Amino acid sequence: GAGVSQSPSNKVTEKGKDVELRCDPISGHTALYWYRQSLGQGLEFLIYFQGNSAPDKSGLPSDRFSAERTGGSVSTLTIQRTQQEDSAVYLCASSLARLANNEQFFGPGTRLTVL
């Protein structure tokens, strides 16, 4: 497909386990973003990639969160030792470049539930 895809669509895990969330951006999009949508916090920025580097990680809530991007394409968001407050929908977006007025296209999200 032509859009941003994310997997899995749903993930249920036990507290303390690690999880990996995957994002496949639109082909050719150099910028990739991770956001989190939760009931109490709304939509929050987590991290941004330009190519394979992450110039802005300011939104990562703790050192349990990390992300990488390889080949300027697929990105993985890893949450270690998950906590119940990590439960949220994790959204990935991509855009052609880092310009502020370039539209970001969002994936359907991964719903993470930590029991």
Q: Which is nearer to another protein, 70 or 101 (CB)?
A: 101
From 21, 33, 79, 86, residue interacting with another protein (rule: CB under 8 A): 33
Strand, coil or helix: 84? helix
Least distance in angstroms from the C-beta of 35 to another protein: 8
DSSP 70: -
CB contact at 8 A, 92 and 7: no
Residue 52 in tokens: 């394979």
45 counts as binding another protein under rule CB under 8 A: yes
Residue 3 in tokens: 């859009």
76 counts as binding another protein under rule CB under 8 A: no
H or E element: which one contains 56? strand 53-56
**Sequence-ordered list of residues with C-beta below 8 angstroms from that of 115, at least 6 positions apart, any chain:** 12, 13, 14, 15, 84
Binders in 95-114 for another protein, by CB under 8 A = 95, 98-109
Least distance in angstroms from the C-beta of 15 to another protein: 27
Footprint on this chain of another protein (rule: CB under 8 A): 31, 33, 35, 42-45, 48, 50, 55-56, 59, 91, 93, 95, 98-109
